[in-house]
Amino acid sequence: MQNLRFAELDIQGLLRRIEQELSSEFGKGQVCTTIPELQTVPGSQFGMAVATVNGDEFVIGAAETPFSIQSLSKVFVLEKVLQITGASLWERVGREPSGLPFNSLALLEIEGGVPRNPFINAGALVLTDHLAANHATAEKAVLQFVQSLSANDSIAINERVAKSEKETGGLNFALAHLLRSRKSIAGNVDQILDTYIRLCALEMSCLDLARAFTHLANNGVCPRSGQSVLPELDVRRVNALMLTCGLYDGVGNFAYRVGIPAKSGVGGGVVGVIPRVLSVAVWAPELDAQGNSLAGISALELFTKYSGWSIF
């Protein structure tokens, strides 16, 4: 890594340059089609926020507008499970990229109900079950965790988005019942689905997300509060999983273009971690064919290109 110090790089200037250069990226993708309520979101919005391990923050565009975090919640669920139950979760979920869409049933059927990783829907459903079995109020535990990481108590679930996904998310229902039939889910399927869908419907801004991920760039310690969130070894592992599994079947291309651990969601958010430097969150609702934010990926590509910060 070209180890530039913050003082040597004008991060605010860099964000301005990215915003200008991105203009040609809008109109090429489609806002999320799998959750009807998300289709009402105007596609050409853009926000970006950076939170450094020194505690500095930089924002541009709609960086403080809350949006649907969707699969970004899978990182918080994984962290909460690691905090509560430690490594026992790996008996029920793998650590390999799936090479298939986030809601695919195919591999799960072939591989006996053990999801490939915690960042595809099947894996997150198993983790939600694991969390629910070890915590009386799994949803509340994750919500409070996220609010504390972001220092923002107003973070909440968008009930309309949750309802919309419940009415239309047939594939997730199929995944959950398949997992139950293979004994990969022990709890009540409807309750697990409800918690999973509601946590996907959390709304956060880019600034909330950049803050919430900074400990993953800072050896597990939240720079703002000094609180230790996860042990250093777990942080390395969460980052490794994001690098290999964080963008579904677009993960190889993302590593090639951007070169940092990151996680995306179909609400158009992508959050990246540059270990020992910063976390960076971007939001642009139009998605590519893999369900990843089209302009969001381009923004991160420009960010690592112009800063020289990459893990490779």
Residues in touch with ligand GLU (CB under 6 A): 34, 70-71, 102-103, 121, 165, 172, 200, 265-266, 291
| Smallest separation, CB 46 to ligand GLU (Å) | 18
The Cα 74–Cα 204 span in angstroms is 14
| Smallest separation, CB 87 to ligand GLU (Å) | 25
Q: Among residues 246, 150, 274, 263, which one has the least CA distance to residue 204? A: 150
The Cα 96–Cα 74 span in angstroms is 15
- Number of Cβ atoms within 10 Å of the Cβ of 26: 16
| Smallest separation, CB 230 to ligand GLU (Å) | 22
| Smallest separation, CB 103 to ligand GLU (Å) | 5
| Smallest separation, CB 243 to ligand GLU (Å) | 17
The Cα 73–Cα 154 span in angstroms is 16
Taking the least distance from each CB to ligand GLU, the nearer of 70 and 304 is 70
Residue 119 amino acid letter: F
Q: Among residues 308, 294, 304, 306, which one has the least CA distance to residue 46? A: 294
Taking the least distance from each CB to ligand GLU, the nearer of 165 and 286 is 165
Q: Among residues 114, 131, 108, which one has the least CA distance to residue 187? A: 131
Backbone angles phi, psi at 30, to 5 degrees: -135, 135
Taking the least distance from each CB to ligand GLU, the nearer of 218 and 264 is 264
Taking the least distance from each CB to ligand GLU, the nearer of 60 and 243 is 243
Q: Which two tokens stand for residue 299?
A: 């923004």
- Residues comprising the chain, all counted: 312
Taking the least distance from each CB to ligand GLU, the nearer of 34 and 205 is 34
Taking the least distance from each CB to ligand GLU, the nearer of 168 and 181 is 168
| Smallest separation, CB 248 to ligand GLU (Å) | 7
